[in-house]
Chain A
């Protein structure tokens, strides 16, 4: 009897939780008929925001991969003093409120900021440019990638690495033909997460980069701008972001369900020999 009561309680609580999470997403689509949604998507406000968002996020992701992968590998493969501190520093932007991230970026790269005056002397002005948007996206999204990448590198069987080395492969060759392919799934999953987070970035961007259609106004910023102008356009933008995010999440599921290939070479990352 008591067990059944517990089961009912669990079921009830689960239903409430699920409904709560699904309702706002469904409501976005329910407020406006799909035909109107599609019509709104062709307005310049939406297309401009889409271009700005994808351009800045893509560049930010390239930077994250380029600089984040070596950092994740070092942290995963070496034991050194202060390692825990490095991991904490990497993860900090993940839990920082976006407004704090925006303040920090202004204080560092703003015209009066720590590095801003140096850049200014070189004739480089970051605030109000797409560079500022890219930096904001990279700052908030990179921890998601680096964290996942550390875990992926740690999961690589050290025996395989050792075998590669004893068979005569140098450390560079081992990294590109053994470690990277084995960690590939995890890296791709981290990248998909970082991409999704980057697309949704709002607070740091509006503080650091401002908001100008076609220049710095990303999809989330456009939603905020359109909220008071044309609620339908805001809803259309919201629906678009829901669709993109769902697609990213689905990709992530697919990546994670792929079994890692038992073969370690050839790989996308293999340098031409």
Chain B
């Protein structure tokens, strides 16, 4: 009898714990959100390049929420009826980073055209990689692409290669540069070259935790979520005029 009670209580505890875990949505988020999203909400996170995450969702990955570093990828999923209409939840800006030792003596984005500078960028399919190419086109610096030694699969890989000192310079979001203080030095990109980096969030159509997913999106868009994003260097979701 006593044994039965113990088993029953244990069973209830386990199922309660399982239920609580169940209510946590699975969030597929751009790798640039790695440091900030867990500060806003506890959830099951998968961080990677937004393009990889979108491809996984297309292949039926069990995501409830998709947070992308651009609007194009979630809009594409929405067009194919794979997620809800995306909304902008934050914005960001690009910087050039160099290792603190700055072996190639880079002091501005214009130095990146120098012969032999090892530039690390993200692949063009990754949002930050597309923004990088936009910046270079805007500033007529396409020659920099000739110095690219690696096309990484997400922004954190670019950060890692520069923080390790393997590359001479890389293009990342300013929020990424902040996560490796003492290892990389950010160099600002002229304002006229800055693209409009908008992050889109949507609820995945195939989600089995729609309530949890919508609650997650509300928390990110809510005052506390926005405050935490701004405190970590992200820009307000609506551009000031």
**Alpha-carbon distance between A111 and B120 when the two chains are bound, in angstroms:** 15
**Which single residue of chain A is at the shortest CB-CB distance from B161?**
A210
**Which single residue of chain B is at the shortest CB-CB distance from A110?**
B166
Residues of B with C-beta under 8 A to A229: 51, 123, 125
B85-115 interface code vs A (CB 8 A; 1 in, 0 out): 0000000000000000001000000000000
Chain A: interface secondary structure? loop
A98-132 interface code vs B (CB 8 A; 1 in, 0 out): 00000000100011100000000000010110000
**Alpha-carbon distance between A211 and B126 when the two chains are bound, in angstroms:** 14
Check if A35 is an interface residue, CB within 8 A of chain B. Answer: no
- Least CB distance from B150 to A in Å reads 3
Among candidates B52, B59, B150, B165, residue contacting A210 with C-beta atoms closer than 8 Å: B150
**Which single residue of chain A is at the shortest CB-CB distance from B166?**
A127
**Alpha-carbon distance between A213 and B148 when the two chains are bound, in angstroms:** 11
The answer on a CB contact under 8 Å between A228 and B149 is no
**Alpha-carbon distance between A128 and B207 when the two chains are bound, in angstroms:** 40
The answer on a CB contact under 8 Å between B125 and A211 is no
B132-171 interface code vs A (CB 8 A; 1 in, 0 out): 0000000000000000111111000000010011110000
**Alpha-carbon distance between A231 and B52 when the two chains are bound, in angstroms:** 11
The answer on a CB contact under 8 Å between A228 and B49 is yes
Query: Interface residues of A toward B: which range?
Result: 20 to 34
Residues of B with C-beta under 8 A to A231: 55, 58-59
**Which single residue of chain B is at the shortest CB-CB distance from A112?**
B165
**Which single residue of chain A is at the shortest CB-CB distance from B125?**
A229
Among candidates B52, B59, B165, residue contacting A110 with C-beta atoms closer than 8 Å: B165
Residues of A with C-beta under 8 A to B153: 206, 211, 224-225
The answer on a CB contact under 8 Å between B54 and A228 is yes
**Alpha-carbon distance between A231 and B54 when the two chains are bound, in angstroms:** 12
Check if A212 is an interface residue, CB within 8 A of chain B. Answer: yes
**Alpha-carbon distance between A112 and B164 when the two chains are bound, in angstroms:** 7
Residues of A with C-beta under 8 A to B52: 227-228
**Alpha-carbon distance between A227 and B166 when the two chains are bound, in angstroms:** 26
Check if A61 is an interface residue, CB within 8 A of chain B. Answer: no
Among candidates B58, B59, B123, B150, residue contacting A128 with C-beta atoms closer than 8 Å: B150
**Which single residue of chain A is at the shortest CB-CB distance from B150?**
A210
**Alpha-carbon distance between A127 and B54 when the two chains are bound, in angstroms:** 30
Check if A216 is an interface residue, CB within 8 A of chain B. Answer: yes
The answer on a CB contact under 8 Å between A212 and B54 is no
**Alpha-carbon distance between A111 and B102 when the two chains are bound, in angstroms:** 12
Residues of A with C-beta under 8 A to B51: 228-229
- Least CB distance from B134 to A in Å reads 18
Top 7 A-B residue pairs of the complex, sorted by shortest distance between their CB atoms: A210-B150, A228-B51, A128-B149, A228-B55, A127-B166, A112-B165, A229-B125
Query: Contact residues of A with B, CB < 8 Å?
Result: 106, 110-112, 125, 127-128, 206, 209-213, 215-216, 224-225, 227-229, 231
Told that A106-B164, A227-B55, A228-B54 touch, could you supply 6 new A-B pairs with CB distance under 8 A?
A110-B164, A209-B150, A210-B161, A211-B150, A212-B150, A228-B125
Question: What are 6 pairs between A and B in contact, CB < 8 Å?
Answer: A112-B166, A210-B149, A210-B150, A212-B151, A225-B151, A228-B51
